[in-house]
Amino acid sequence: MCLGIPGKIVEIYEKDSLKMAKVDFGGIAKEACLAYTPEAEVGQYALIHVGFAITLMDEEEAQETLRLLQEMADLEDEIPG
Amino acid sequence: MKYLDEYRDPAKVKALLKEIESVVTKNWAIMEICGGQTHAFLHHGLDAMLPPQIELVHGPGCPVCVTPLEQIDRALAIASRPDVIFTSYGDMLRVPGSTKDLFTVRAQGGNVRTVYSPLEAVQIAEANPDKQVVFFAIGFETTAPANAMAVLQAKNKNIKNFSVLVSHVRVPPAMEAILGSKTNRVEAFLAAGHVCAVMGFHEYPPIAGKYNVPIVVTGFEPIDLLNGLLAAVKQLEGGQAFAENQYQRAVKFDGNESAQKTIQSVFQSTDRKWRGIGVIPQSGWGLSAEFQEFDAEKRFDVENIFTQESSLCIAGEILQGLKKPPQCSAFGKQCTQQTPLGAPMVSAEGACAAYYRYHREEIKA
């Protein structure tokens, strides 16, 4: 139930005095509430859980994690066995 | 999909597995708290690829599984009323109560609806002023901001026919209950990434210190899970015990403070009973004084509930990580996903459902 899926914010609007968004999940669009990520902008990725953005994805941190892992994978390639 | 696909890269998975293998020298029991992570480990077959020294102990992080039977029975009683539209997240509908489940109530004419977001329940209340609309507000910290906002919206919009049946639980008190138990075997934790996206992980350094246990905030994709395990194993092998974050793209130390603020205004800390485990002090949230008018338990007379658990089901031992599903005599026989005896066989986060789906070869003849 704590399933959270990162989706791309494609449109922001207000509904019932809440900041809402249309979020794209790889081709499937759903509505999500941005009340807890008021700084969110169109084009950013948010982690959506039960119709709410609970955090915005941090692109820099994501790249850093992947860079470190790539280094590890490259190193493995160099070591025989 | 971005932020998912790149964390499933086979080359990086292979590198991480090799790295874990090269670091591990002793046997370690590591608990992934979150049932979503249990399913991810088994779904991707990672559990079978780990070095034999690492045992994954599956934790109680399955909100559907730990919602107490009394509360399920209250839900069934309320949902059976002709004046009620009962709304719930879909995975609650098949959870067995003492005598039936919410699907049965619906089949018998009850107005039971699943919602994707709790805000939909508020909209249903607005659209049906002649009905009482009740939302089953269950979940861990991840779900609390959404559930809290639904209550806040109902108050702001002065919607009188909306109420919530609350059964909110929290992770850190459960971790302490596990670590403080005489039967505890857990030597390190993978902390639930999405719980921490909301709450941060400032609650974990004191627990890591007090119980001398590594705690690694971990995500849900194969690379995340292995990266979390690697960090935990490195700490264990090095004799260290601290809280660290391997899910940096989604989790900050302080979490989502705006969400925490709303949770704190709508809910207050309370003792909670966990199904199969028992009462854990201050392990959950109930409605705060200001929002009592939205409490479905007060609005409907559901005090006298007589509960009866299946005598075969060992969900309590499963949820505490003391036994694995194939050790249950009913697993895959009397208890299947079609005929679940306990909640862990129902939920997409329940350990029994994960083993039934991915390790059916372990069903005893």
Reported as a single tens digit per residue, the pLDDT across A9-43 is 999 999 999 999 999 999 999 999 999 999 999 99
Token look-up 């910290």 returns B141
Smallest Cα–Cα separation from B95: which of B78, B115, B75? Answer: B75
User: Quick check: A79 pLDDT over 80?
Assistant: no
Are B285 and B350 contained in the same domain?
A: no
Q: What is the pLDDT of residue A48?
A: 97
pTM: 0.95
A-chain residues within 8 Å CB-CB of B153?
Answer: 16, 18
Are B240 and B341 contained in the same domain?
A: no
Q: Does A36 touch chain B (CB under 8 A)?
A: yes
Q: Which residues face A9 on adjacent strands?
A: A23
B-chain residues within 8 Å CB-CB of A18?
Answer: 119, 149, 153
Contact B117, B145 (CB under 8 A): no
Are B241 and B354 contained in the same domain?
A: no
Q: Does B36 touch chain A (CB under 8 A)?
A: yes
- Confidence class of residue B53 from pLDDT cuts 50, 70 and 90? very high
Contact B356, B332 (CB under 8 A): yes
Between positions 88 and 117 of B, the ones with CB within 8 A of A are 89, 91, 116-117
Are B75 and B169 contained in the same domain?
A: yes
Contact B357, B349 (CB under 8 A): no
Are B189 and B231 contained in the same domain?
A: yes
Q: How many domains does chain B have?
A: 2
Are B237 and B352 contained in the same domain?
A: no
Contact A37, B221 (CB under 8 A): no
Q: What tens digit of pLDDT does each residue of B130-141 get?
A: 999 999 999 999
Name the DSSP letter for residue B331.
B
Q: CATH number, domain at B40?
A: 3.40.50.11740
Domain enclosing residue B343, as ranges: 315-358
Residue B365: inside a domain, yes or no?
A: no
User: Quick check: A72 pLDDT over 80?
Assistant: yes
Task: Among B179-183, B189-193, B266-270, name the one with the lowest average pLDDT.
Answer: B179-183
Are B286 and B196 contained in the same domain?
A: yes
Q: Which of A3, A52, A58 sits opposite B146 (nearest CB)?
A: A52
- Confidence class of residue B92 from pLDDT cuts 50, 70 and 90? very high
* Radius of gyration of the CA atoms of chain A, in A: 17
Residue B282: inside a domain, yes or no?
A: yes
Are B319 and B308 contained in the same domain?
A: no
Between positions 3 and 32 of B, the ones with CB within 8 A of A are 3-4, 6, 11-12, 14-16, 18-19
